[in-house]
Amino acid sequence: MKKYDLIIIGSGSGLNIASKAIQQNKKIKIAIIEKSKMGGTCLNHGCIPSKMLLHYKDVIESIKSSKDFFIKSKIEKIDYEKIISSTDYQLNKLSREIYSFYKKSRQIDLYKGNAKFIDNHTLKVSKDLIYGKKIVLAIGARASIPNIQGLENIDYLTYIEALKLKTLPKTMTIIGGGYIGIELSNFFQSMGCKVTILEAKKILSNVDDEIASEFKKKFLKNIKVIENVNIKKIESKNKKITVFFNNKKITSEKLLISTGIKPNTDLIDIQNTNIKLDEKGFIKVNKYLQTSIKHIYALGDCINSYFFKHSANFESLYVFEKIFKKHTPKINYPPIGYCVFSTPEIAGVGITLKQAKSSKYYIKKANFKDIASSMIVKDNTGVLYLIFEKKTNRLKGSHVVSKNASILIHILIAFMQKKAKEEDLKEMIYIHPSFGEFIKKAL
């Protein structure tokens, strides 16, 4: 049995730990286990490919809106197959480069396959048994599939298959209106596919009602959304898929399931360890990202924390510090923002508007149509909220719906990071005319 100082399961954010460790300690021996392509979910079938495809959507929308600026333009053809193949090529190339980099290291052994725990220190990968003094679980999550009658007989898509779909369907039904469902619906609609979203409650249920309401003003112009849906069954006939719901039905060529994620903890024989899980299968960790076994750490989508690549990267750097440096304090998350890369974009950080209705806070608001940039880009859709704590006047949250919201929110994340007060935001000089004046307008 081969023994290692550190075993890392998963080649996404866990690679941050490996790369820093081999730079710091030239004698350390590390094993990296990956069942799929190097680079993890984000690179291969998550945030990177989805944002690459969504940029094509942005280009198409720019061309179509050129008439608003008295520019006559025409899209002669959208080469969907080339868009998909080009994206795949770039991602596969980068994944291979990552593999080659770590393969060359004398300090790292790469294992391809599913990791299975034998005990608290020992793992089996294919026929290999390996021992780790310390272990990091960066095993991620996968699409959660709902229990719907007939779904087991359907050739449905998850985000993984949708991002690599070779042929553009004429119609698509998406079950689930969360971040992933919204972004993918935007992409396929821009390509020429007729998309309908079915949502059990309301789309974007994780954002405030005020934000979702502003978002829908533009989003619903191009994509049909049906909320408060109770799906009874799903059938397939003549290469078409029919979803039966609320005494109605909808038929389409493709069905995309986008109803959340589940952790991959059920794939690694975790029952052979003393690692504790919560009721949803996520790994329980303490304030040092240690599991119930102190030499085993966990980070990213397999713990019930934030579900972003940027938060997983932050956690991986913390775990490195905890493993290799003494007297590491408890993890202290800075303000962590989110974004839905749709049309329009949604971005936010900190406490929600619902939480801010407490007497501890006060809210400032601005409408995008009231700043100069709205006239420049000829777009009236957008709203920005700033949430301040009454006792300290410190910025505690912000939520934005607008073009370029993903960029604008970073100013507010920085203000929150530095514990800025309302007067600090007021003292800043915002470039005119710019999207930054959206913040000034709210003050």
Do 218 and 95 have their domain in common?
no
State the DSSP H helix or E strand holding residue 47, giving kind and residue range, or none if neither: helix 47-64
Identify whether the C-beta of residue 329 lies closer than 8 Å to the C-beta of residue 200.
Answer: no
Is residue 212 domain-resident? yes
Kindly report the average pLDDT of the chain as a whole number: 97
- Please state the rounded mean pLDDT for residues 112-139: 97
Q: What is the pLDDT of residue 326?
A: 81
CATH value at residue 234: 3.50.50.60
Distance of CA 311 to the CA centre of its chain: 10
Do 436 and 399 have their domain in common?
yes
Q: What is the pLDDT of residue 327?
A: 86
Do 300 and 364 have their domain in common?
no
Residue 423's Cβ-count burial label (10 Å; 0-12, 13-18, 19+) is exposed
Give residue for tokens 């493993």.
323
- Please state the rounded mean pLDDT for residues 411-438: 97
Do 32 and 135 have their domain in common?
yes
Report the number of distinct structural domains present in the chain: 3
- Count of alpha carbons within 13 angstroms of residue 98, beta-carbon side: 23
Is residue 189 domain-resident? yes
Task: For residue 237, list its beta bridge partners.
Answer: 240
pLDDT tens digit string along 29-48?
Answer: 999 999 999 999 999 999 99
Do 302 and 176 have their domain in common?
no
Do 202 and 167 have their domain in common?
yes
Strand order in 383-389's β-sheet? 338-340, 345-350, 395-402, 383-389, 361-367
What are the helix and strand counts (H, E) for the chain? 12, 21
User: Which of 207, 238, 259 is the last residue before a domain boundary?
Assistant: 259
Is residue 332 domain-resident? no
Do 72 and 172 have their domain in common?
no
Interatomic CA distance for residues 220 and 165, integer angstroms: 24
Interatomic CA distance for residues 7 and 369, integer angstroms: 53
Do 244 and 266 have their domain in common?
no
Do 253 and 268 have their domain in common?
no
Do 17 and 108 have their domain in common?
yes
User: ∠ CA(137), CA(51), CA(418), 5° rounding?
Assistant: 70
Q: Of 37, 28, 10, which Cα lies nearest the Cα of 123?
A: 10
Is the predicted pLDDT of residue 214 greater than 90, yes or no? yes
pLDDT tens digit string along 218-268?
Answer: 999 999 999 999 999 999 999 999 999 999 999 999 999 999 999 999 999
pLDDT tens digit string along 319-354?
Answer: 999 999 888 999 999 999 999 999 999 999 999 999
Q: Of 128, 47, 55, which Cα lies nearest the Cα of 91?
A: 47
- Please state the rounded mean pLDDT for residues 283-290: 98
State the DSSP H helix or E strand holding residue 365, giving kind and residue range, or none if neither: strand 361-367
Q: Of 362, 365, 377, 351, which Cα lies nearest the Cα of 438?
A: 365
CATH value at residue 423: 3.30.390.30
Is residue 337 domain-resident? no
Do 218 and 239 have their domain in common?
yes
Interatomic CA distance for residues 248 and 424, integer angstroms: 54
pLDDT tens digit string along 414-425?
Answer: 999 999 999 999
Domain, as residue range, for 240: 151-259
How does residue 69 score in pLDDT terms, banded at 50, 70 and 90?
very high
Do 9 and 83 have their domain in common?
yes
Identify whether the C-beta of residue 184 lies closer than 8 Å to the C-beta of residue 258.
Answer: yes
Identify whether the C-beta of residue 415 lies closer than 8 Å to the C-beta of residue 395.
Answer: yes
How does residue 176 score in pLDDT terms, banded at 50, 70 and 90?
very high
Distances (CA, A) of 330 to 121, 215, 294, 311: 24, 37, 14, 16
**DSSP code string of 175-229:** E--SHHHHHHHHHHHHHT-EEEEE-SS-TTTTS-HHHHHHHHHHHTTTSEEE-S-
Interatomic CA distance for residues 164 and 45, integer angstroms: 8
